[in-house]
Structure 1
Amino acid sequence: MGNWMNKEPPPPMVLVPPLFDFPPLAARTRMLESSYNMLFAKLALKCLFDDYFEEARHFSTRIMLKPIDDPHVDMIATVSGPLDHKPEENIVGNALFRWQRELDDPHTFMDLFVSNSDPVLRIRSSTYYPKWGFGAFGTIPLLMKKRISSEDYGVMGLRYGTGNLSFGAMLMPFAMKDELPKNAWLVSKMGRLTVGMQYEPQYGGKEDAKYKNLMNWSYAIGYGVGSGSPLSPSFNFGLELANSSVFIASFYQHVVVQRRVKNPLEEDEIVGITNYIDFGFELQTRIDDAKTANNIPESSFQVAASWQANKNFLLKGKVGPLSSSVAMAFKSWWKPSFTFSISATKDRVVGKTSYGFGIRVENLREASYQRADPNFVMLTPSKEHLAEGMVWKTGRRPMLQSDVNAGHFEGLPKELRPLGKIL
């Protein structure tokens, strides 16, 4: 009885919510792409600029499920189309069935894609051997309404990748001699600095050696700080000369902050919560003398930011020279999870605001509260965390060193680990 009367109050806790979408779905198929197109924060910027910004006056529905009995396979089905019926626009539906060899390794897989638009039926496969660093991959459209280019008959590729080096090439088996290869890349990382180059034979006639045309070459350099885990802040800055004609400067930062909780619905011992703030900027400027169409500016930019306040609410916004957009997403972490998003786009050319809607159902990525600091100790199966010893002072942010910052990811589930040690 005395022990019950003298029971100590529960220690203060800080919630560490899961990110809305990590790892990004594009990371599951990154072994089918050139490393040059995935590094230099390009994947993070694409997610920031595109995710949840629905096309104006359109809707999209996505269902992503995997069976409980066999987690090695999953299925993604999407339906999208205009909100108002237009004869020239059709509702597009497709489905993707995927098999993955290892649950924690997305690099070896095979998927089958079906759609009511081109390609009607497509198969993709990737195999990667981390022990030797070699991998092979391919994309084969089996059924298409019309085959126009050599790429429509299939693409095959070989790659070599380690933690500091990646090179490879993609070939089209039925392409003409002057179209080989489809592209080739070489990327190297030295500390926080990453440099790369890519060759894509898009310009030049049949009689010309396309590798001598500078417009078929792209170069990039990037500086990055951070572990790659979303529980750790990161910073990336990149410069790119694309096709020797377009200069691109980009900046991306992922910030992890902790704020006090002022929610009366939370328990008294909940004193704070971790928030995630992302900011990105991209500037493109043509540096050649090529004449562009009247409606295509020689330079453009876009700025975007997102704020995840808790596990259920995400707010995003972006600004460009021709339009501005804002998006809100609400997520329930049921099994499967359910996400509803709405976006508004202001077209400054015509002075009109349009809306788009999206619905997502998913159980591919599971909700997890993870340790962000040594002071966070696993408390209950709900994976909220103990924050014993943390002192909260108004206007002062505690400076803490975590296992994540130190690069210790073994205790984290796969959803919140870095994307991999291959460059």
Structure 2
Amino acid sequence: MGNWMNKEPPPPVVLVPPLFDYPPLAARNRMLESSYNLLFGKLALKCLFEDYFEAANNLNTIIMLKPIDDPHADLVATVSCPLDFKAEKDVVGKAFFRWQSDVDDPHTFVDLFVSNSDPIFQLRSCAYYPKYGFGAFGICPLLVKNRVSSKDYGVMGLRYGSGNLSFGATVSPFSSEDELPKNAWLVSKMGRLTAGVQYEPQCGAKDGAKCTNLKNWSCAIGYGSGSGSPLSPSYNFGLELAKSSQFIASFYQHVVVQRRVKNPLEENDVVGITNYIDFGFELQTRIDDAQTSNKIADSTFQIGASWQANKNFLFKGKVGPLCSSVAMAFKSWWNPAFTFGISANLDHKFGTTAYGFGLRVENLREASYQRADPNFVMLTPNKEHLAEGTVWKIGNRPMLQSDVNAGNFDGLPRELRPLDKIL
């Protein structure tokens, strides 16, 4: 009886919710892409400016499922249609069936792509050997209504990747066009500085002059910090000269903050919650003769921000000279998880507002994780962690520093670790 009367109160806890979408689906296929197109904050900015911003007057449904007894295989299907569709051709359906040899390594895989638009049936494959850093990949459209460009005949490539260097090239072996290589890149990282160059021959260039034509070359330089894990704050600033005709400046920052919990539905021992805030800016300015590019705006920009308040709600917004959009998403962490999103798009030119809707069903990414840090002992499956021994002060960095700052991510599941040590 005495022990019951003198029972100590439970230790304070801090809610650490999982991110809505990490790692992004685009990261699973990054070995098929040029490293130049994914670094310098480009992948993060693409997710910030595009995810959950549904097309105006459109319904987008995504189903991402994997078998319970075979984690090596999964299916991602997308169906998109206008809200007032009147014909079957208005509905666009796509699906990927993927198999990867290692559940924890997404870099060696084979997938089949089917769609009711070009390409109708496509095979993609990639093999990467981390011990040596070399990889090979290929994209082969098997069924295409009309083969117009060299991509319609298939692409093959070789690449090398390490922690500080990435280079590779792609060719179209079955194309009649004389393009060799079709794409080539070289990216190097030195501390917080990343620099890269990419060669993409333009159609219609004179034979023998493609390599010397500056319009076929792009270069970029970026400065950033952070481990790449969503539990670690990070930022990236990049400058790019694309095809000697467009100058692009971008900035992206991921912030991990904690705020006090004032929700009467929470237990008394819950003292705070971790939030994720992202901010991005991108400016594009043309530097070539305006007469040769009068169909493209001389200058444009966009600013975006997102705030994940807890494990269930995500708010996003972006502003540009032509239109602005806001989006809200609600996610239920069942198995499978359901996500419903709604976005509003304001056209500044005509002053009209249109709405888009999205629905996602997923069990590809796990909702919970364990921490070996004594300050973050899992209490329940909904990300409640001990906050004992940590001074709670508003504005301080979150209590995630001991292992994350040291670069020790072994205690984290794969979906919260950095993408890996491959540049």
| Deviation of the 1:86 alpha carbon | 5.0
Q: How does 1:142-221 map to 2 (within 5 A)?
A: 142-176=142-176, 178-221=178-221
**Cα distance between partner residues in 1 of 2:422 and 2:170:** 18
AA paired with 2:43? L
**Cα distance between partner residues in 1 of 2:345 and 2:86:** 20
**Cα distance between partner residues in 1 of 2:158 and 2:398:** 45
1:240 aligned partner: 240
AA paired with 2:318? K
1:21 aligned partner: 21
Answer with 199-208 or 98-107: which moved more.
199-208
8 Å CA contact 1:378–1:384 kept in 2: the answer is yes
1:277 aligned partner: 277
Call closer, same or farther: CA 1:407–1:347 in 2, change over 3 Å: same
AA paired with 2:404? V
Call closer, same or farther: CA 1:396–1:350 in 2, change over 3 Å: closer
Aligned residue for 2:29, secondary structure, equals helix
8 Å CA contact 1:336–1:363 kept in 2: the answer is yes
**Cα distance between partner residues in 2 of 1:41 and 1:98:** 26
Call closer, same or farther: CA 1:102–1:251 in 2, change over 3 Å: same
CA RMSD for the aligned pairs? 1.7
Aligned residue for 2:84, secondary structure, equals coil
Q: Deviations for 1:201-226, whole angstroms, at most 9, x for unmatched residues?
A: 01553434211100000000001100
Call closer, same or farther: CA 1:228–1:363 in 2, change over 3 Å: same
| Deviation of the 1:326 alpha carbon | 0.2
| Deviation of the 1:350 alpha carbon | 1.0
8 Å CA contact 1:16–1:371 kept in 2: the answer is no
AA paired with 1:303? I
Aligned residue for 2:403, secondary structure, equals coil
**Cα distance between partner residues in 2 of 1:94 and 1:396:** 45
| Deviation of the 1:404 alpha carbon | 1.0
2:418 aligned partner: 418
8 Å CA contact 2:15–2:385 kept in 1: the answer is yes
AA paired with 2:407? G
| Deviation of the 1:160 alpha carbon | 0.6
1:4 aligned partner: 4
**Cα distance between partner residues in 2 of 1:179 and 1:396:** 55
In structure 1, runs of 5+ residues without a counterpart are: none
AA paired with 2:396? R
TM-score for both structures, normalised by structure 1: 0.96
Call closer, same or farther: CA 1:398–1:320 in 2, change over 3 Å: closer
Aligned residue for 2:420, secondary structure, equals coil
TM-score for both structures, normalised by structure 2: 0.96
Q: How does 1:332-371 map to 2 (within 5 A)?
A: 332-369=332-369, 371=371
Identical residues among aligned pairs (%) = 77
8 Å CA contact 2:18–2:367 kept in 1: the answer is yes
Answer with 54-63 or 207-216: which moved more.
207-216
Count of aligned pairs: 422
Call closer, same or farther: CA 1:281–1:112 in 2, change over 3 Å: same
**Cα distance between partner residues in 1 of 2:144 and 2:252:** 38
AA paired with 1:243? K
| Deviation of the 1:371 alpha carbon | 4.4
1:82 aligned partner: 82
1:49 aligned partner: 49
2:110 aligned partner: 110
In structure 2, runs of 5+ residues without a counterpart are: none
**Cα distance between partner residues in 2 of 1:299 and 1:377:** 50
AA paired with 1:41? G
| Deviation of the 1:175 alpha carbon | 2.7
| Residue 124 of structure 1 pairs with residue 124 of structure 2 | yes
8 Å CA contact 1:59–1:81 kept in 2: the answer is yes
| Deviation of the 1:14 alpha carbon | 0.2
| Residue 67 of structure 1 pairs with residue 72 of structure 2 | no
Answer with 293-302 or 323-332: which moved more.
293-302
2:408 aligned partner: 408
Call closer, same or farther: CA 1:382–1:340 in 2, change over 3 Å: closer
Q: Deviations for 1:19-63, whole angstroms, at most 9, x for unmatched residues?
A: 000000000000000000011110000000000000111110011
| Deviation of the 1:390 alpha carbon | 2.4
**Cα distance between partner residues in 1 of 2:372 and 2:346:** 38
Call closer, same or farther: CA 1:275–1:399 in 2, change over 3 Å: closer
AA paired with 2:362? E
